[in-house]
Amino acid sequence: MHASPALLVFHPDQWDPARAEQVRAYSRTVTPVLIPSSDPRAARYGVAGRSAVVVTDSDGEVVWRHISGSGALPKPADVDAALAEIIEAYAAPRTGWSRREFVGTVLAAAFALALEPAMTRAEAAAMATSHAAPGATRPVTLHVNGRDIALSLEPRVTLLDALREYAGLTGSKKGCDHGQCGACTVHVDGRRVLSCLTLAMAAQGKQVTTIEGLDDPMQQAFISHDGFQCGYCTPGQIMSATAVMHEPWGPTDDDVREAMSGNICRCGAYVGIVEAIQQMRRGSGGPQ
């Protein structure tokens, strides 16, 4: 089989561990490999003694490189774009697999191969384990959309990540991951909450509803009133909107704006969102 793309992060010996977290956030599909920049492998990529991020393709060829003088890390979007390009290129000949399925399938098997010829398989395996998280997983049962889902999770896994990365429910979106954008809004025991700030452990024994489990005329109202453009914030908007129906807000458009201020829409579809919610609140008929 072929190898898959690799993400190599070269770092100074004195390195803030928080940076490792930042680096892990670069890609949800390709696991970054952390290598001290004093390591001989750094010289092979021309980054000896420097902070750098290198993306290699399935042949181990460097396709993208970011060298930092100040220690600043490259923008996640740039890293993601570099990875996306070669992953799409590699995935293209195959049919019937989504990009997500494809990446998820090849990663585990191809991880060591990915680093050749710059690194042996044994070296790669050692790197991977030495930087693995120390937390132990434990069984967690989540009650989502009316069914029980049994998972094995570390305590630090949020409800959002449990839904998206472990339960395969990718309808809830990760926007800011800090409780500021509302894209991850779900219902827990009937109330709207932010799944990115909820630990999966703490959601046990509660009824979780995501957009996948919702069957509500609000969804049609958003369509009828153009309550979205790109659609990324929409699951969170709709989960929030359906909960607002049961909260004691006043009747005006301004009340809707206040009630919905925790859901940000970068496309600016607010006019349609307010119209959709007001149509539902007034109970003025179903879908147009």
Q: Which residues bind other proteins (CB under 8 A)?
A: 16-18, 21, 133-135, 154-156, 158, 177-179, 182, 185, 191-194, 197-199, 201-202, 240, 243-244, 247-248, 257-263
Compare residues 192 and 225 and give the one whose CB is closer to other proteins. 192
Compare residues 18 and 122 and give the one whose CB is closer to other proteins. 18
CB of 17 to other proteins, least distance (A): 7
CB of 276 to other proteins, least distance (A): 17
DSSP, collapsed to helix, strand or coil, labels residue 138 as: strand
Compare residues 227 and 236 and give the one whose CB is closer to other proteins. 236
Q: How far is it, in rounded angstroms, from Cα 269 to Cα 30? A: 33
CB of 136 to other proteins, least distance (A): 8
Q: Please give the structure tokens belonging to residue 256.
A: 């809707």
Helix residue spans in the chain (DSSP H): 17-24, 40-44, 76-91, 99-114, 121-130, 159-161, 217-224, 234-244, 253-259, 270-282
CB of 258 to other proteins, least distance (A): 5
CB of 212 to other proteins, least distance (A): 19
Compare residues 49 and 135 and give the one whose CB is closer to other proteins. 135
- CA 253 from centroid of its chain's CA atoms: 32
Whats the size of the chain, residue-wise? 288
- The C-alpha torsion from 132 through 134 and 136 to 142, rounded to 10°, is -70
Compare residues 105 and 180 and give the one whose CB is closer to other proteins. 180
Q: Beta strands of 172-233 (E only): which ranges? A: 185-188, 191-194, 207-209
